[in-house]
Structure 1
Amino acid sequence: MQEQSRLPLDLPRTAKRRPAATDGAQRKRSKGADAQPQDELPTAQAEPAEAARARLSDETPAEARGDAGHDRRPADHAALPPVIPAPWAEGRAPVLGEGPLDAPLMLVGEQPGDEEDRGGRPFIGPAGRLLDRALVEAGIDRSACYVTNAVKHFKYVQRGARRLHQTPDAGDIAHYRPFLMREIVHVAPGLLVAMGATAAQALLGRKVGIMKLRGQVLSGPGGMPILLTVHPSFLLRLPDPDAKRAEYGHFVHDLGVALQRVPEIRAG
């Protein structure tokens, strides 16, 4: 776990386990999401994780998975096929996932940010530092988790010397989805955590209302259980301090749900 740095928001050191309902700002944010009724979304069944992993592997051809005849090499990702960049990312190196390739928990975000693109590692910027802090408060050892993004390159708009984040569209998500699916097969986690709408869409293959379904575990590819929650950058953007505290507590609580399902990620 990297050293925690000062975060650009005032959050309590001890998160509340069950915060109050989201305020109007959050409701406004989620209003436009393509939410589906909760009872129309499949929830994860009590199928053993090993069975779900095997079924996902069986449903994906070996040549597409890129795992035939390879050993797991977490340092260089040699067992995974190369990432084909989107047209807007030509000439730039992808930011690959980080963590043990047999991790019981896989955290999936949206895309690398400016710092991640420059540093070549996922979740090392402001959102990553907030994630680190939340994992600590939830009792989770980040080094036991595999951390990656749905989109492997930083999509941005240049504004003078600044590179401003641009949300990936459906085409971007679809372009990188095959590599993400191969990552899932290769790591074979017991639980996936979709942080934000982009990650959820990449994993589930459709848009869902994150604010309505956060904290719930749904059935993903091959029956793999997927826990939905917000992206940590969402917390950084909230203008109201009270909303930040409440949402941060809710985020830590969501991560606590992950810990309950895969207790082997508990920090020592």
Structure 2
Amino acid sequence: MTPSRFAGADAIERLREEAAACRSCPLWRNVTQTVFGEGAAGAHLLFVGEQPGDREDRAGRPFVGPAGQIFDKALAEAGVDRSTVYVTNAVKHFKFEPGKRRLHKSPNGSEIAACRSWLLAEIEAVNPRLVVALGATAAQSLTGRPLRVGASARRWTSTAADA
């Protein structure tokens, strides 16, 4: 499914509703729900993580688990109010190893590609000045190609849409 493009104040909410019905990859089968981005619709900063974790899947909100707590602390130390930014993930469903505890498993290229249109639609709707990739999966989704974080850290990179 390709997300529809919307303009206006309710663009993100309408995209969130569409994404909830997405069946473009098999990850949706074992999760609680789709975890879409959230934050200020006109944010100047947009942060992209890898995927929701167990707590995010259960809560239906991004960046609320242990990594989200570290993220919140980093924002606070930088003097950035989280309510002024937009946070999302490259992959909208939690990929995990089944078992007593649902342990995180990295998404593969086809799962990243399946969610890429949602991420690009979020970016279009928010229209931030700066998009920050928090890891290799986020960078791959944004650029359309695998990137090694160590080799790409602290460097400006164009998205595939910009090329």
* TM, length-normalised to structure 2: 0.88
Task: Give 1:138's match in structure 2, choosing from 78, 100, 124.
Answer: 78
Over residues 51-81 of structure 1, what are the superposed CA-to-partner deviations in whole Å (9 max), with x where a residue is unaligned?
xxxxxxxxxxxx85421xx53227x712556
SS in 2 for 1:135: helix
d(CA) in 2 for partners of 1:140, 1:207? 29
SS in 1 for 2:133: strand
Percent of aligned pairs with the same amino acid: 44
d(CA) in 2 for partners of 1:81, 1:157? 27
Q: Is the Cα contact below 8 Å between 1:100 and 1:145 reproduced in 2?
A: yes
More displaced, 130-139 or 87-96?
Answer: 87-96
Q: Is the Cα contact below 8 Å between 2:37 and 2:62 reproduced in 1?
A: yes
d(CA) in 1 for partners of 2:44, 2:91? 21
| Letter in structure 2 aligned against 1:82 | E
Task: Look up the match of 1:209.
Answer: 148
d(CA) in 2 for partners of 1:178, 1:120? 20
Task: Give 2:87's match in structure 1, choosing from 135, 147, 159.
Answer: 147
d(CA) in 2 for partners of 1:207, 1:170? 9
| Letter in structure 1 aligned against 2:115 | Y
Q: Is the Cα contact below 8 Å between 2:16 and 2:36 reproduced in 1?
A: no
Unaligned runs of 5+ in 2: none
Q: Is the Cα contact below 8 Å between 2:3 and 2:18 reproduced in 1?
A: no
Residues matched between the structures, number: 158
| Letter in structure 2 aligned against 1:77 | E
Does the alignment pair 1:118 with 2:51? no
Over residues 66-120 of structure 1, what are the superposed CA-to-partner deviations in whole Å (9 max), with x where a residue is unaligned?
21xx53227x712556121322313742011010111111100000000000011
Unaligned runs of 5+ in 1: 1-62, 225-268
Over residues 124-179 of structure 1, what are the superposed CA-to-partner deviations in whole Å (9 max), with x where a residue is unaligned?
000000000011111212111000000001011112x2101110000100111111
Q: Which structure 2 residues correspond to residues 1-20 of structure 1 after superposition, within 5 A?
A: none
Does the alignment pair 1:188 with 2:100? no
Q: Which structure 2 residues correspond to residues 147-166 of structure 1 after superposition, within 5 A?
A: 147-159=87-99, 161-166=100-105
Does the alignment pair 1:97 with 2:37? yes
Structure 1 position 221, deviation (Å): 4.0
CA RMSD of aligned residues (A): 2.0
Change (3 A) 1:81 1:66: farther
In the TM superposition, structure 1's runs of 4+ consecutive aligned residues that sit over 6 Å from their partners are: none
Does the alignment pair 1:128 with 2:65? no
Task: Look up the match of 1:261.
Answer: none
d(CA) in 2 for partners of 1:168, 1:175? 11
